[in-house]
């Protein structure tokens, strides 16, 4: 099956992109953005929780990535509390939720690669896997940070 870009050049938020892949990768590309979206979708919604789950990220990088995702409209930040430090809670926007089918496909593909050619290992943080249902031939593991 061949899928093609609908045009030669795309303009989005005052930037130009050579194709839709470039545009999409600008929104969610990099080491952390997809993982952040994954965890927010699974209920890990506060900065401290995200920092704990993303084993090797720095606080500065997490803060930067969250700001980028918010700027692009994929997540929304809500502040709670009456005095500093306020608590930040992040949720997916409808635009962010539109990425979930792609996220699930990427996760299934990554799991398949790990099962066939690599292995799952544990880090210092406790991770509890459970199998969730997806279309064959994939098995998707859902990980919760304790």
Q: What is the CATH number of the domain that holds 39?
A: 1.10.10.10
pLDDT given at position 124 = 44
Give 37-55 pLDDT, tens digit per residue. Answer: 999 999 999 999 999 999 8
Whether the Cβ atoms of residue 75 and residue 34 lie closer than 8 Å to each other:
no
d(CA 18, CA 104) in angstroms, rounded, equals 26
Q: Is residue 111 assigned to a domain? A: yes
What the block records as the tokens of 96 is 């962010």
Q: Is residue 3 assigned to a domain? A: no
pTM of this structure: 0.79
Q: Is residue 1 assigned to a domain? A: no
d(CA 37, CA 32) in angstroms, rounded, equals 9
Q: Is residue 6 assigned to a domain? A: no
Task: Collect all residues with Cβ–Cβ distance below 8 Å to 142 and sequence separation of at least 6.
Answer: 42, 129, 130, 131, 132
Higher pLDDT, 84 or 128: 84
Q: Is residue 19 assigned to a domain? A: yes
Judged against a pLDDT cut of 80, whether residue 111 lies above it is answered with: yes
Q: Is residue 2 assigned to a domain? A: no
d(CA 134, CA 132) in angstroms, rounded, equals 7
Domain that holds residue 78: 13-145
pLDDT given at position 81 = 86
Judged against a pLDDT cut of 90, whether residue 73 lies above it is answered with: yes
As for how many domains the chain has, the answer is: 1
Q: Is residue 7 assigned to a domain? A: no
Q: Is residue 5 assigned to a domain? A: no
């Amino acid at each position: 099956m061949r899928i093609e870009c609908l045009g030669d050049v795309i303009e989005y938020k005052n930037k130009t992109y050579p194709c839709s892949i470039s545009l999409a990768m600008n929104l969610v590309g990099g080491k952390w953005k997809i993982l952040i979206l994954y965890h927010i979708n699974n209920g890990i919604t506060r900065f401290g929780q995200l920092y704990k789950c993303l084993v090797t990220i720095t606080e500065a990088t997490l803060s930067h990535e969250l700001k980028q995702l918010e700027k692009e409209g994929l997540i929304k930040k809500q502040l709670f509390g009456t005095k500093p430090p306020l608590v930040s809670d992040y949720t997916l926007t409808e635009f962010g939720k539109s990425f979930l089918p792609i996220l699930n496909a990427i996760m299934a593909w990554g799991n398949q690669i790990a099962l066939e050619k690599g292995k799952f290992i544990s880090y210092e943080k406790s991770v509890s896997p459970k199998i969730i249902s997806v279309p064959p031939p994939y098995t998707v593991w859902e990980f919760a940070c304790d």
